[in-house]
Amino acid sequence: MLSDKTIGIVKNITPVVAANAETVTRVFYQKMFAGNPEVKAFFNQSHQHSGGQQKALAGAICAYFSHIDDLESLTPAIELIAQKHCSLGIQPEQYPIVGKHLLAAIQEVMGEAATDEILAAVGEAYQLLADVCIERERQIYAEQRALTGGWNGYRPFIVERKESESNVITSFYLKPADNGPLPSWIPGQYITVRIDHPTTPTSPRNYSLSDQPGQNYFRISVKREVSLTPDAPAGLISNYLHDVVQVGDTLEIGPPCGEFTLNLSDQHETPVVFLAGGVGVTPLLSMAKSLIASQPEAPLYFLQAARNSQTHAFRKELQELKDNGPNVRTLTMYDCPLEEDVERENYDSNGVVDETIIRDWTPFENAEFYFCGPKPFMQNVYSCLHSLNVSTDRIHFEFFGPRQDIESLANS
């Protein structure tokens, strides 16, 4: 536990740190990549380019400092970090590297205000957080190894099938190269793909498992990420998977990880609502298929939002979901339908998810909500749920970046 003195110091400097958090994290990454370039292998450089990684870390630091005297409230955030770290194979000896450069960044940004006493308190606080994360990660690694077919690190998998789901999403069916068993996993989890790119060294990528557990394969469904602005890079690995990787090729795969999951050991008697935007459908489809397979009578609502029929993936699987569950309702929304979509009635509703849709189509008063998709979609959904007074314990989502990016609109 932290001393009262350390807690007091950290709470006193929290407003200053919060005001300069993104500057601190930018300096931190610059120092760490310069001083320990080997750690760049763990970081997606497109997230560095966009500033998303810096902002996410800034949000995490502010949350930790703000709750320094109530660490139990940070349990969900620590679980997210630990799962992500285990997906990348982070080890205890890498934590001192982060601590060293974080303290140096705070010292540089705060200048003379960063006294020895303050730096000592921040160092103590960081070490406590590191110890908590290291212990949880040790447990996760042990749990992975203990599963039948489980492993740590990377394991070679063969691409057995490669199927187009839409103009932008392709599914890859992966089987162990050693023909060994696959471990059990929880719907909503992701696996890690590590590729030795021929021209540009890059970090591993996490992709949600898009089918239900119990198959003799892992399936990931990858969206081709294009460059959104002239100075921004296109998705290096997503394009490599789409254009280069073929059936019969071998990929290095990390074991299932992730905390955005649906617990099938619970009896889901109250409705479960899935709201999917774009490729965010992948973890939600896994959850929904798994729920109906294990609890056919479960009341389930699945809304899928897409641009139009060209980008609409898994149409057939959503129909099968509806056919297999007597209490399943589905709704397809296009915000930019093609002329042929209108003529063929390829969708149920035109537009975007709004408060009226959620109020009129879902049992929002008592349902559990799971949603995933692009940032604007998620901001909108969260804001709608907040306006409808859906309690936070019934709201579940997965998003790369600080939660405040999703919650800001609802709280403004």
Tell me: is residue 382 an annotated ligand-binding position: no
pLDDT exceeds cutoff 90 at 231? no
In this prediction, residues 185-198 reach a mean pLDDT of 94
In this prediction, residues 360-365 reach a mean pLDDT of 97
Q: Choose between 158 and 268: higher pLDDT.
A: 158
What tokens appear for 136 in the block?
């949880």
CA distance 99 to 181: 39
Tell me: is residue 59 an annotated ligand-binding position: no
Name the segment(s) of the chain with CATH classification 2.40.30.10: 155-257
Lowest mean pLDDT among 9-18, 232-241, 297-306, 390-399: 232-241
pLDDT confidence bin for 400, thresholds 50/70/90: low
Highest mean pLDDT out of 45-54, 166-175, 220-229:
166-175
Tell me: is residue 402 an annotated ligand-binding position: yes
Q: What is the structure's pLDDT at 301?
A: 98
Q: What is the structure's pLDDT at 216?
A: 96
CA distance 172 to 264: 25
In this prediction, residues 309-331 reach a mean pLDDT of 96
pLDDT exceeds cutoff 80 at 401? no
CA angle at 370 for the pair 55 and 137, rounded to the nearest 5°: 55
Q: What is the structure's pLDDT at 235?
A: 81
Q: What's the chain's average pLDDT?
A: 92
Tell me: is residue 280 an annotated ligand-binding position: yes
Q: Choose between 50 and 132: higher pLDDT.
A: 132
In this prediction, residues 311-340 reach a mean pLDDT of 96
In this prediction, residues 104-111 reach a mean pLDDT of 95
Segment 16-35, tens digit of pLDDT: 999 999 999 999 999 999 99
Tell me: is residue 206 an annotated ligand-binding position: yes
- Residues pairing with 220 in the sheet: 172, 209
Tell me: is residue 400 an annotated ligand-binding position: yes
| Cβ-based neighbours of 345, under 8 Å, separated by 6 or more | none
Q: What is the structure's pLDDT at 230?
A: 64
b/e map 241-265, b = 16+ CB within 10 Å: bbeebeeeeebbbbbbbbbbbbebe
Q: What is the structure's pLDDT at 404?
A: 62
Q: What is the structure's pLDDT at 16?
A: 92
| Cβ-based neighbours of 297, under 8 Å, separated by 6 or more | 325, 326, 327
Q: Choose between 140 and 197: higher pLDDT.
A: 140
Segment 243-282, tens digit of pLDDT: 999 999 999 999 999 999 999 988 999 999 999 999 999 9
Catalytic residues: 95, 137
In this prediction, residues 376-405 reach a mean pLDDT of 88
CA distance 350 to 308: 10
pLDDT exceeds cutoff 60 at 412? no
Tell me: is residue 138 an annotated ligand-binding position: no
CATH class of 272-411: alpha beta
- Taking domain 4-146, whether its CATH number is 1.10.490.10 is answered by yes
Tell me: is residue 283 an annotated ligand-binding position: yes
pLDDT confidence bin for 87, thresholds 50/70/90: very high
This prediction's pTM: 0.93
pLDDT exceeds cutoff 80 at 71? yes
pLDDT confidence bin for 213, thresholds 50/70/90: very high
Annotate the chain with three-state secondary structure. CCCHHHHHHHHHHHHHHHHCHHHHHHHHHHHHHHHCHHHHHHCCHHHHHHCHHHHHHHHHHHHHHHCCCCHHHHHHHHHHHHHHHHHHCCCHHHHHHHHHHHHHHHHHHHHHHCCHHHHHHHHHHHHHHHHHHHHHHHHHHHHHHHCCCCCCCCEEEEEEEEEECCCCEEEEEEEECCCCCCCCCCCCCEEEEECCCCCCCCCCEEEEECCCCCCCCEEEEEECCCCCCCCCCCCHHHHHHHHCCCCCCEEEEEEEECCCCCCCCCCCCCCEEEEEEHHHHHHHHHHHHHHHHHCCCCCEEEEEEECCCCCCCCHHHHHHHHHHCCCEEEEEEECCCCHHHHHHCCCCEECCCCHHHHHHHCCCCCCEEEEECCHHHHHHHHHHHHHCCCCHHHEEECCCCCCHHHHHHHHC
| Beta-strand relationship, 169-176 and 218-223 | antiparallel
328: alpha, beta or left? (left if phi > 0; alpha if psi -120 to 50):
beta
Name the segment(s) of the chain with CATH classification 3.40.50.80: 272-411
pLDDT confidence bin for 408, thresholds 50/70/90: low
Tell me: is residue 26 an annotated ligand-binding position: no
Backbone angles phi, psi at 326, to 5 degrees: -65, -20
Tell me: is residue 205 an annotated ligand-binding position: yes
In this prediction, residues 141-150 reach a mean pLDDT of 98
Contact 221, 317 (CB under 8 A): no
Tell me: is residue 207 an annotated ligand-binding position: yes
Tell me: is residue 332 an annotated ligand-binding position: no
pLDDT exceeds cutoff 70 at 410? no
Query: What fold, for 155-257?
Result: Elongation Factor Tu (Ef-tu); domain 3 (2.40.30)
302: alpha, beta or left? (left if phi > 0; alpha if psi -120 to 50):
beta
Tell me: is residue 401 an annotated ligand-binding position: yes
